[in-house]
Structure 1
Amino acid sequence: MTEPETPAPALSIVVPVYNGAATIGGLVKALRALDIEGGLEIVLAVDGSPDNSLDVCKRLAQEPGAPVIVMSLSRNFGEHNAVMAGLSRARGAFAITMDDDLQNPPEEVKRLFECARDGGYDAVYTYYEEKKHAAWRNIGSRFTNWCADRLIDKPPGLYLSSFRCISAFVRERITASYQGPYPYVDGLVFQVTQNVGRLQVSHLPRAEGRSNYTLRRLIRLWLAMFLNFSVMPLRLATLAGLTFGALGALAAVIVIVEAIISDKPPQGWASLMVAVLVLAGVQLVVLGMIGEYLGRMFLAVNRKPQYLVREVFRRGADGLDVERPKVDTRAAGQPHREPSHGEDEGRAER
């Protein structure tokens, strides 16, 4: 038997969990200790974690305190997909997303929430005086932000952090508007609003283990931003093609003039081969880029799921309640949630 559904809290905290068994307990304990006006809920999206994170999260859901909702995804879909799953379940007037590694101090959650609420922002992004990440990750983050300044409608100079706060207005629209398999949360946020604030927060060294982000995962995330929210890469490819075409035409004119006015045939096999290889390389890059766009369109049309929720766990009157959402065939990856007791009487399922 499920506990009667409580009124929507002021704040939902969404945490994607992957290999977080050693840290998620401390994070939830610290979050539950926060004094949030209007109350809070914690949504843990366990992203096919190979360790025992799911068992730890289920135990946390049974403990007293702020409600914890545990979403067990059917496999590892990626951080942004797990965040979208958690946001689809959140009910708060504001939602904060954060990692499970305790590098963002839980005490900063209240400051971030109050900054968004009192400042009237649709979204607030955090930034750090110093990031406690490896040097190669910091370089990658700077490169991603440089690209984002030019590819998506991001306010100039805004640092894109996974520790962010968004309003219910933004949350509802980004979860409803994008059903594709390659979400990029920041790109979706900036499609909805430009009313965005900034807040400097602390950043701590990782408490346990090492980052789950490999170079491959970072490249995949960068491609989601690079290809999903702008046609500028195609325009750059067109510009590169026009540039090299013009250079080729100019070289052809030079060769013809040289052949006419000179007694010797044009020389330069090596330079010719360099030109051929350069042009062939550009063509292959452009074809690959077009193929990537078409491939993503193909997967979206064929309804590759953004995520699939196997089970949802929450505290009930007699222990831990389990909900097995049905897949809503109207949108790939979005779970169809059965109405709770009383919710189906007098109002439709949302």
Structure 2
Amino acid sequence: MLQITSSGPLPHETTPALSIVIPVYNGAATIGELVAALAGLDIPGGIEIVLVNDGSPDDSDAVCRRLAATAAVPVTYVEHARNYGEHNAVMTGLRHARGEYAITMDDDLQNPPEEVVRLFLHCRDGGYDVVYTSYAEKQHAAWRNLGSRFANRVADLLIDKPKGLYLSSFRCMSRLVIDGVTRYEGPFPYVDGLIMQVTQRIGTLEVRHLPRAQGRSNYTLRRLVRLWLNLAFNFSLLPLRLAVFLGLAMGAIGGIGALYVIAHALFGQPPEGWASTMVVVLLLSAAQFVILGIVGEYLGRTFQTGNRKPQGIVRAVVRATVPDHAR
């Protein structure tokens, strides 16, 4: 076993056909079983595994380092300096992937490792740039499934994706897409939005989805909201356009209200009472604050991007290869 700490290529190493990128967070109990299963797959052209520890608070660091030293296939282990989020970890993993194709998958064993072979061959032999997986039945909690459906509906509106395409984190992409996606250096990546900016040659494949093997989902409502915000404010101007339409709608309502008051004063009893006035004031104020909030979100993200907020700081890279006689 040759093991070094480096971010560059190793001498005399061959380029694998497939890189499997796995962001690791609270995955100490499952990542070993997943890597062992992936190492046993028969992938034409060979594979490598890229593990990205995204500031996991459990024992994932020690487990991943041990896997890099003992796995039967080449493993690259990347340690983030802190937790940056799943999409940031995927971006880091893709930058360290050397394969002609890359598959991204979670560390929780809900995606059966044997489906990796089908997904890779479907993408390669079908001539696709990207293949997304879909599930006949998802084994997530009801609120998580609802959040995923909401995010996909929002994506239908905000990014240029084929209508009805399910955006799964279990996906395969070609080197063309990998290189295009990793050009983005901003602090708010949304991998699927970046993919849609690179290609529309997209396929789908239905795969099995298993119950979570250990623990519970790392996605909380807060994390899902942050993901939606990245989608909404980094890949579309639609929120700003909706703010314009909201302002026009409120202006129209105000104009109709003014005409009603004038007509009522000229031909009937002058309007009395402060309640209706307060309702109108509060309604208009709410619309103004919504618009200011949308503009402020764009400005804040522009400010942070201009200040070069990091997408992810890498603490260490451990790249290991398997000698030819051990393969």
User: What TM-score, normalized by structure 1, do the two folds share?
Assistant: 0.88
Which residue of structure 2 lines up, in the alignment, with residue 301 of structure 1? 306
Which residue of structure 2 lines up, in the alignment, with residue 210 of structure 1? 216
* Alpha-carbon offset, residue 4 of structure 1: 3.1
- Give matches, 1:9-28, under 5 Å: 9-28=16-35
The one-letter code matched in structure 2 to 1:54 is D
| Residues 73 and 309 in structure 1, CA contact (< 8 A), matched pair in contact too | yes
Q: What is the RMSD of the two structures over their aligned residues, measured on CA atoms?
A: 1.3
Which residue of structure 1 lines up, in the alignment, with residue 188 of structure 2? 182
Question: What are the superposed Cα offsets for residues 264-317 of structure 1, whole Å, 9 maximum, x if unpaired?
Answer: 321353222222112111111111111110000000000000001110012269
Q: Distance in 1 between matches of 2:44 and 2:318?
A: 25
- Alignment of 1:73 with 2:80, yes or no, is yes
Q: Answer 1 or 2: higher relative contact order, Cα 8 Å, separation at least 6.
A: 2
The one-letter code matched in structure 2 to 1:256 is I
- Give matches, 1:259-298, under 5 Å: 259-262=265-268, 264-298=269-303
Question: What are the superposed Cα offsets for residues 212-245 of structure 1, whole Å, 9 maximum, x if unpaired?
Answer: 1110000000100011000011001100100110
Which residue of structure 2 lines up, in the alignment, with residue 251 of structure 1? 257
- Alignment of 1:192 with 2:198, yes or no, is yes
The one-letter code matched in structure 1 to 2:228 is W
| Residues 30 and 106 in structure 1, CA contact (< 8 A), matched pair in contact too | yes
Q: Distance in 1 between matches of 2:292 and 2:265?
A: 34
- Give matches, 1:65-214, under 5 Å: 65-176=72-183, 178-214=184-220
Q: Distance in 2 between matches of 1:293 and 1:217?
A: 19
Q: Distance in 2 between matches of 1:261 and 1:78?
A: 63
The one-letter code matched in structure 2 to 1:213 is Y
Q: Distance in 1 between matches of 2:21 and 2:224?
A: 21
Q: Distance in 2 between matches of 1:5 and 1:15?
A: 25
Q: Distance in 2 between matches of 1:279 and 1:203?
A: 47
| Residues 119 and 131 in structure 2, CA contact (< 8 A), matched pair in contact too | yes
The one-letter code matched in structure 1 to 2:60 is S
Query: Which structure 1 segments of 5+ residues have no match?
Result: 319-350
- Alignment of 1:312 with 2:317, yes or no, is yes
The one-letter code matched in structure 2 to 1:100 is D
Identity, % of aligned positions: 63
Worse-matched range after superposition: 86-95 or 276-285:
276-285
| Residues 53 and 60 in structure 2, CA contact (< 8 A), matched pair in contact too | yes
| Residues 62 and 314 in structure 1, CA contact (< 8 A), matched pair in contact too | no
* Alpha-carbon offset, residue 260 of structure 1: 1.3
Q: Distance in 1 between matches of 2:321 and 2:92?
A: 22
Query: Which structure 2 segments of 5+ residues have no match?
Result: 5-9
| Residues 69 and 313 in structure 1, CA contact (< 8 A), matched pair in contact too | yes
Aligned pairs, number: 316
Q: Distance in 2 between matches of 1:202 and 1:64?
A: 26
Misfit runs of 4+, over 6 Å? none
